[in-house]
Amino acid sequence: MVVLKAKLNRLKKKEFRDAYVVSHLSHGLAHQIRVLRTQRGWTQAELAEKLGIKMQSAVARMEDPSYGKLSLGTLLRLAQVFDVALSTRFVSFSQFLLEREDVSASNLRVQSFTEEVQYLIQDIEHALKICPYVEATPPSVGSYIPLEMLSSNCTSFNIPITSEV
């Protein structure tokens, strides 16, 4: 609690807030690029090849927290290669702090769509076993099967779509 209070006091200064955001984005992105690469068992040279970059040193720069010059185009290309989505948006400082609370490697891992879709199908099949009246159409948006998709016999279920089985 003391640490949080001290951080909030420092965040009252505009210069500190600006530096804090830049630092956390630079470090967080660099760390997550490395986490995603190693999660897939790729070397820096292999990632460079997948990105269409000739030099492994370019990937090393992307993974260097002090580099901080990744363009939106580069981030989009990385997302395509990792087969994940890229989410960028403006948020409040409180939300920014919450999202960066856990920067452990396990929290930065992201499944590719191919890996994730297997779990989504398993979750839907599991939901159908629990409540056979659930329509077999997965939701296109959101993290839960909406109650409207459930028949009147199963309206008490709000079945999460997660990667945990």
Q: What pLDDT score does 13 carry?
A: 94
Q: How confident is the model at residue 131 (pLDDT cuts 50, 70, 90)?
A: low
Q: What pLDDT score does 158 carry?
A: 46
Stated as kind and residue range, the H or E segment containing 96 is helix 93-99
| Residue range 108-115: mean pLDDT, rounded | 89
**Backbone region of residue 135 per phi and psi (left: phi > 0; alpha: psi in -120 to 50; beta: other values):** beta
Q: pLDDT tens digit string along 4-48? A: 788 888 999 999 999 999 999 999 999 999 999 999 999 999 999
Expressed in angstroms, the distance from the first to the final Cα of the chain is: 35
Question: What is the CATH architecture of 2-108?
Answer: Orthogonal Bundle (1.10)
Q: What pLDDT score does 106 carry?
A: 82
- Residue ranges covered by each domain of the chain: 2-108, 113-154
Cβ of 159: how many Cβ atoms within 10 Å? 20
pLDDT value at 142 more than 50: no
Query: Which three-class secondary structure state does DSSP give residue 28?
Result: helix
Give yes or no for a contact between 16 and 57, defined as CB atoms under 8 angstroms apart: no
Q: pLDDT tens digit string along 48-81? A: 999 999 999 999 999 999 998 999 999 999 999 9
